[in-house]
Structure 1
Amino acid sequence: MMKPLLAPLFALLSVAAQAQEATPGAGTAVSPAGDYVHSEREMIAGLRLNPDGSFEYALTVGSLDESAKGRWQAEGNRIRLTSDPRPVPPTITATRIDADPGKPFSIRVLTPRGVDMPGVDMLVEFDSGDPLDTYTPGVPWTVPADENRSPRFVTFSMPSYRLRSERLPLDPKPGTTAIFSLTPNDFGVADFTGAEVEFQAGKLILHRPEGSMDFRRVEPREKDGEPE
């Protein structure tokens, strides 16, 4: 589930484009088909527009790996992307209550392998006062020692992966652990349906709700190891 997507990313950036592009001239449009790359600090992303109207995308930054594929259609200097198939976001649901005698009430989010999932944002609501913004630490989560209120609801989220659970009730009895299960579905696959790309000379600008990214065109000589 968490396997990095480096292989498809570098494959996307290293394989030479097969399409023969038109030579610019009077009345001749330049095809946007080709390979494009975005690179900054620890982030690298690749976007390939295939001549058959399909696209491939991959990104890696820090602990986040993301991919996408589907169809593209040019409308003037704009390109519309549609994910195909459309990815299903991951979910987190309540599973069971485990007995854990002698220990405080705790919360666990488990992967399909039965291990704790770290880094899931949690909004914990109590019987009074403001909620607590926290996250799963990769081990059972317990109420902070200086917290005297009783937790009543929890909502899980991972915005980068389009995950947001329902508002789930809690029964915080000492000696019990509330178990929640992560169903990966298409974990790490971005939904590009409705995303728009601007096509400019030598580059693309990808617009998404998360922000815009500039991609420069990778020429065949660069992909063959001979940068201009």
Structure 2
Amino acid sequence: MKRTLRHLLPCLLALLPFPALAAGAAGLYTGNEGHEMAAELLLREDGSYAYALSVGALDEESQGRWEERDGAITLITEPKPVPPRFTPAPAIAASGTEPPPYLLVTLPNGRGLAGIDFTITCADGTRIDGYTQVYGWDFASETCTAPQAITLREPIHAIESPPYPIAPGATALHFHLVPNDLGRVDLTGTFGVIAGETLTLVRERGQIRFRRAKPR
């Protein structure tokens, strides 16, 4: 179920106390750079922060502490989230007369995942790019007679696996996407530049502009 910022923020605000800082940049900032995006960044006077973003199919949150210096703020995420990851899993056995798909990506509970991008590299240098369905993915063996390795990607949360070697003669590959702290992001080192009522948060995945919310 898709969560909204209204549902996320009450959980984020129950933070451990930190030593008090000068008010300075403290306050609630809201970001809205399009009809599909909403974001909030709360800088509390005790030095803690709460962040939430919703854009398209992506929901993410973060919490920790912040520091202010020379008109800029820096975020330190605490506690550190455990990132999601892909792990190899036992191959699925054939069901009746139907062979298992060549590639299947599931959650640990067995639910198949659609929209997982992958790249298969072949012995002759050929690259096969595709994406999974909930029931997996198959390919014609003549397109790649000797698969060597596969890399998996979940594009919404930018999750990518290392290249996993493919055993010679393998007919079925199965991977788990282990969620861990999926949706919680480590913003340590992220900085925000403050100009008047605007705070521009600079992240690896781009910038987000916030405006200080007026007190109610």
TM-score, with structure 2 as normaliser: 0.83
Distance apart, 1:102 and its partner CA:
4.6
Are the counterparts in 2 of residues 126 and 151 from structure 1 also a CA contact under 8 Å? Answer: yes
| Maintained 8 Å contact 1:5/1:67 | no
Cα displacement (A) at 1:143:
1.2
* Separation in 2, partners of 1:192, 1:207: 10
- Report the Cα offset of residue 146 of structure 1: 7.4
Distance (whole Å) between structure 2 residues aligned to residue 182 and residue 8 of structure 1: 28
- Picking from 74, 78, 83, the partner of 1:89 is 83
Listed as ranges, the gaps of 5+ residues in structure 1 are 16-28, 222-228
Alignment of 1:124-203 (within 5 A): 124-143=120-139, 147-158=143-154, 160-171=156-167, 173=169, 176-203=171-198
Change (3 A) 1:182 1:139: same
Structure 2 match to 1:66:
60
Over 6 Å off, 4+ runs: none
Give the TM-score taking structure 1 as reference length.
0.79
User: Could you tell me which residue of structure 1 aligns to residue 199 of structure 2?
Assistant: 204
Indicate conservation of the 8 Å contact 2:199/2:209, yes or no. Answer: yes
Gap regions ≥5 residues in structure 2:
14-21
Q: Tell me whether 1:34 sits opposite 2:27 in the alignment.
A: yes
Q: Deviation of residue 162 (structure 1)?
A: 4.5
Q: Whole-Å Cα distance in 1 between the matches of residues 196 and 187 of structure 2?
A: 23
Range moving further from structure 2, 203-212 or 141-150: 141-150
Contact 1:43 / 1:62 at 8 angstroms: preserved in 2? Answer: yes
Identity %: 33
What amino acid sits opposite 1:217 in the alignment?
R
1:98 equivalent in alignment to 2:92: yes
Q: What RMSD over aligned residues (CA atoms) do the two structures have, in Å?
A: 2.5
